[in-house]
A and B are shown apart, each in its own frame.
Chain A
Amino acid sequence: GDSVTQMEGPVTLSEEAFLTINCTYTATGYPSLFWYVQYPGEGLQLLLKATKADDKGSNKGFEATYRKETTSFHLEKGSVQVSDSAVYFCALSHQAGTALIFGKGTTLSVSS
């Protein structure tokens, strides 16, 4: 069945460091790919998405590129801030209106 694998955390960085959180997936066909973020005490929020191969999703300085050849959707940010501390979830869905399949989440902690 379909699945999403994320790097295990926690990831601990200093402010202004470069961030990469790895995400790979196993799925038939061409799923849509998502990154969701959960800030402390808050609900899940969509951070960015990509719906086809080579698409780049971006938001709030975060980017991820849909790589069909490596079945990956790694999340990157050039300079993290303390306010980016949160849990990040990679997810896929096969078509609009279907359930999301999530990775287990990666906790990011950024210190000043």
Chain B
Amino acid sequence: GAGVSQSPSNKVTEKGKDVELRCDPISGHTALYWYRQSLGQGLEFLIYFQGNSAPDKSGLPSDRFSAERTGGSVSTLTIQRTQQEDSAVYLCASSLGTSGEQFFGPGTRLTVL
């Protein structure tokens, strides 16, 4: 398919465990974004990649959150020592560098018990 894909679609984990969420952007899109969607906070920006570098990490809520992108393509968002307040839908989006239009994936629903 030509769209943004994310895996897993659902993840249930226990408090204190680490989780990794994956995003495959649209081929050729140089920019990649992570957002979090939760009932209380709405849609929040987490981090943005241009190529493999992250010029804007301002939305990461704590040092338990990190992300990397390799080969200018796949990105992984890692949450260490998960807490119940991390439960949310994590959305990935990608865009061509200069178009401004972001295309979103279906999201990963994370539940921390």
Contacts and interface: CB of A to CB of B under 8 A. Distances in A.
Given A51-B100, A105-B42, A97 B105 contact: no
A101 interface: yes
A98 B42 contact: no
B45 interface: yes
B42 A99 contact: no
Nearest to B33: A99
Given A43-B91, A43-B106, A44-B91, A95 B100 contact: yes
Interface residues on A, range: 20 to 34
Contacts of B59: 99
A51 B59 CA distance: 24
Contacts of B102: 46, 100
Interface residues of B, number: 24
Contacts of B50: 97
A104 B42 contact: yes
Secondary structure type dominating chain A contacts:
loop
Interface in A9-23: none
Chain A CB count within 10 A is highest, among B48, B59, B101, B102, for: B102
29 contacts: A42-B106, A43-B91, A43-B106, A44-B91, A44-B93, A45-B104, A46-B101, A46-B102, A46-B103, A49-B101, A51-B100, A89-B43, A96-B95, A96-B97, A96-B99, A97-B98, A97-B100, A98-B48, A99-B45, A99-B48, A100-B35, A100-B43, A100-B45, A100-B102, A102-B42, A103-B42, A104-B43, A105-B42, A105-B43
Top 5 nearest A-B pairs (CB, nearest first) are: A96-B100, A102-B43, A44-B104, A99-B45, A104-B42
Interface of A: 32, 36, 42-46, 49, 51, 89, 93, 95-105
